[in-house]
A and B are shown apart, each in its own frame.
Chain A
C-alpha cells in the first residue's frame, strides 16, 4: 500500500497499541491537537486520553515519566516535538534511560521509544535545525534509529516499540509528506540491519534519513556520466550494520559518507574509522565525507543552503573519491 512517512509511523504506533495495552503515547500536542506534525492524527479518538496523553511543555518531566513508567513494565512512546528539545531532557535520557540497566546490574530495563523530528527543515534557525544523532550514538545503552522511507519508518518503529532498550528514533522533519510503498501486514525490521537503497559498482555512499534522498538524486546525476553508485542506508546507527557497509566498500573500493550533522566527532567519522580499520586494503581512495558546515545554522535561505549537505555536494564528493576531482584538504 502507498503511504506517507507520517502515515506509516501512525500505523506502526496504532498497530502496536492495539497489540499491547502497555504501549502508550505521550508528548506535547499528541492528543487533541492531533500532533504538531500530525503523526498522531486520530490516535486520541482511537485510544482515548488514557493512552494518548497531552503533556505540558516540560520535556525533562515527561521524558523522565517515560523512564520511570518503563522501569515498571509500561512501554511508553515519548514524542518530542523535535529533537532539539531533547536537550532539555538530556539528563533523563543519558543519565537515567541509558544507564539504569547497567547501574542496576540488569535488574531493571527501560523499554521506551523517544521519537520525533530531527534535522534542518526550511529556515528554522540555529535552535530548530539540529541533527543530534552523533550525540546519542556516543552514549552506551541507547539505540539510535533514523529511517529514510515510509516502509522503513513503519517496520523500524514497530521493532523499536517491542525492543527492551531505550530507542532514540529520529524522524526526518522534511520526510513526513514523502510517499512510498509499505508492505501489507507485519514487516518488523530488525534494529542493526541496513539496506541497499540502490545497487552500484563504482562508489559506495553511506547515508541515512533525509540524506538517502540526496544520495539517490546524486546517483541519478552520476549515472548519466556512467558512474555507478551504491547507496547504503544503515537505517539504525546504533547498533550499526558494519557488515553491509564493509561488503559494499569491498565491492566498490571507494566510499563517501553523507550526514546532516556537524563534521567534528560526527557519525561519519566513526564509520570512516571502522571502514579503514576493517577493509583498509579494499580502499582505492581516501574516504570522503559530506556534512553540514561546522557552524550553528543560519536563517537566510541562501546561507542555509551553503551550510547543509546538498546533492551537488554529494556529486562532487563522489567525483573526488573517483579521482575525477581534487581531494579535499
Chain B
C-alpha cells in the first residue's frame, strides 16, 4: 500500500449478499472480456482478422471495475486497447468480433476496426489510435455535460505511454481549469509499447501531475476489481457532485505483448509469471469461493455460459455479411448527396 492508497476515502459499504452478487457479475464480465480477447487472438493467428490487435489480457479489472462504478448515462472514452471497455459499457462480444472481422454487423459496420469501437447507444465514445490524442476530446464531452447542466460524468482511459504526450497535458489542464466532471484513469501496465516506465517518465508516479492542474488524485493496485470499483466510484461522485476532476493511476499489467506482432522480449518470463500471480480473473474467482462461499458448480455454469456466448459471437462474426461497399462513402459527410466519389 502506498501513501495515497491509505489516504483515499472509502465507498459506501454494501452488505455481504450484494457484494457477492456484484463480484459475481464483475467476474463474469472480466471472464467474458478475456475469452473475447482470446478468441480475437485465435482469429488473428488464423488470418481471419487483420490490422493491429492490442489485447487487454491481464488488465480486465481496470475497465470492468471502473465502468461498474459509473451510471449507464456516463460517458466512456478509450484508447486502442478498448475491447474490454466497450463490453464493460454494455457492448456485446458479437459487435466487437464482427467489427474485427470487418463485417457489416460490427460496432462500426467494419469501418473502424479493433482500435475504433464506438457505441452511441451505450455512450461509448471510441477507441482512438493516436496515443493521448483523445484526452482533450474526453474533456470536451465533460464540458458539454457541464454546459447543459447535466450530471453525467466522463471516464477517460489512457495508458502510461500517453503521459509524456502534450495533448494529454492540455486536456488535464483544461479539465482542472474549468472544473469539468471527468475522471482520468491511467492504466499503468508498466510498458509504453516495449519501453519500461523508468525509461519514459522522469517521475514514475503518474498522479504527481495532478497538483499542477488542480486535479484530485488517487493511485492504487488494480488486480482487485472491487477495489477499482470503489476507488473510481469515489472519483466519479466527486466529479458528479463537486465538478472536481480526478487523475487516477491504476497499477496493472498486460500478459501479452503490446500488439499481436510483439513477442515482448523486453521483459523476463519471471516478471510475467510474478504478475500472473495477481491475475485479476482467477483472483476474483478465488474470492467468490473463499470469501463469499459461492458454490463451485455455480461458477462452472457461469463459465460455461461465457464460453458459449463467445463461441456464438465468433459464429456470428464469421457468418455475418461483409461490410458494405456503399459504407465507404456513406459516412464521410452528413449529407448523403455529398458523395466523396465526386468531390
Interface residues of chain A, those whose CB is within 8 Å of chain B, are 24, 50, 55-56, 58, 60-74, 76, 91-92, 95-96, 100-109, 140-141, 143, 163-165, 192, 238-240
Given known contacts A67-B137, A96-B137, A107-B120, A62 and B174 CB-to-CB distance under 8 angstroms:
yes
Q: What is the bound-complex CA distance between A158 and B338, given in angstroms?
A: 19
- Interchain CB contact under 8 A, B140 and A69: yes
Asked if A69 meets B147 with Cβ closer than 8 Å, knowing A61-B171, A105-B112, the reply is yes
CB distance from A273 to the nearest CB of B (A): 13
Are A103 and B111 interface neighbours, CB within 8 A?
Answer: yes
Contact A72–B75 (Cβ < 8 Å): yes
Q: Report the nearest B residue to A95, measured CB to CB.
A: B130
Minimal Cβ-Cβ distance residue in B for A53: B178
Q: Is the CB of B177 within 8 A of A56?
A: yes
Interface residues as binary, B112-137 with A (CB distance below 8 Å gives 1, 0 otherwise): 10001011100001111110011111
Q: A60-B166, A92-B133 are in contact. Are A102 and B331 (CB under 8 A)?
A: yes
Residue B157 is within 8 A (CB to CB) of chain A in the complex: no
Contacts of B147 in A (CB 8 A): 24, 50, 69, 74
Nearest chain-B residue to A137 (Cβ)? B343
CB distance from B153 to the nearest CB of A (A): 13
Pair A101/B331 contact, Cβ less than 8 Å = yes
**Could you list some 6 contacts between A and B, CB below 8 A?**
A64-B137, A69-B141, A69-B147, A71-B125, A95-B128, A239-B338
Rounded to whole angstroms, the CA-CA distance of A40 and B245 in the bound complex is: 30
Return the contact of A101 from the options B119, B140, B334 (Cβ within 8 A): B334
CB distance from A156 to the nearest CB of B (A): 16
Q: Do residues B334 and A64 form an inter-chain contact, with CB atoms below 8 A?
A: no
**B143 CB within 8 Å of chain A:** yes
Instruction: Say whether B140 contacts A55, CB under 8 Å.
Output: no
CB-based contact B109/A105 at 8 Å: yes
Known: A105-B107, A108-B120. A239 touches B332 (CB 8 A): no
- Give the total number of A-B pairs whose CB atoms are below 8 A apart: 155
Q: Tell me the bound Cα distance from A24 to B144 in angstroms.
A: 11
Q: Is the CB of A105 within 8 A of B135?
A: no
Interface residues of B (CB under 8 A from A): 75, 77, 106-112, 116, 118-120, 125-130, 133-145, 147-148, 166-167, 170-171, 173-174, 177, 327, 330-335, 338, 340, 343
A103–B323 Cα gap in the complex (Å)? Answer: 13
User: If the complex has contacts A68-B141, A72-B75, A107-B118, are A101 and B167 also in contact, measured as CB distance less than 8 A?
Assistant: no
Contact B133 A103 (CB under 8 A): no
Q: Closest approach, in angstroms, between the C-beta of A80 and any C-beta of chain B? A: 14
Nearest neighbor of B167 in chain A, beta-carbon distance: A60
Cβ contact of A96, chosen from B75, B108, B134, cutoff 8 A: B134
Please measure, in the bound complex, the distance between the C-alpha atom of A163 and the C-alpha atom of B127, giving whole angstroms: 25
Q: Tell me which residues across on chain B come within 8 A of A238, comparing CB atoms.
A: 343
Select from chain B the residue with minimum beta-carbon distance to A97: B137
| Separation of A102 and B166 alpha carbons in the complex (Å) | 26
Indicate which residue in A69, A92, A103, A108 contacts B143 across the interface (CB closer than 8 Å). A69
Closest 6 pairs (CB-CB, A-B)? A64-B136, A68-B140, A61-B170, A105-B108, A164-B334, A104-B118
Decide: A102 and B140 in contact? CB cutoff 8 A. no
Given A101-B331, A104-B120, residue A91 in contact with residue B141 (CB < 8 A): no
Q: Compute how far the CA of A284 lies from the CA of B336 in the bound complex, rounded to whole angstroms.
A: 37
Closest to A140 in B: B332
In the complex, what's the smallest C-beta–C-beta distance from A66 to chain B, in angstroms? 6
Question: In the complex the two chains form, what is the Cα distance from A101 to B77 in whole Å?
Answer: 15
Residues of A within 8 A of B138 (CB): 68
Distance in Å from the Cβ of B11 to the closest Cβ of chain A? Answer: 27
- A101 to B329 alpha-carbon distance, docked (Å): 11
Would B128 and A96 count as touching, CB distance under 8 A?
A: yes
Instruction: Specify which chain B residues have a CB less than 8 angstroms from the CB of A104 in the assembled complex.
Output: 108, 111-112, 116, 118, 120, 126, 331
Shortest beta-carbon distance from B287 to chain A in Å: 37
Instruction: Tell me which residues across on chain B come within 8 A of A108, comparing CB atoms.
Output: 118, 120, 125-126
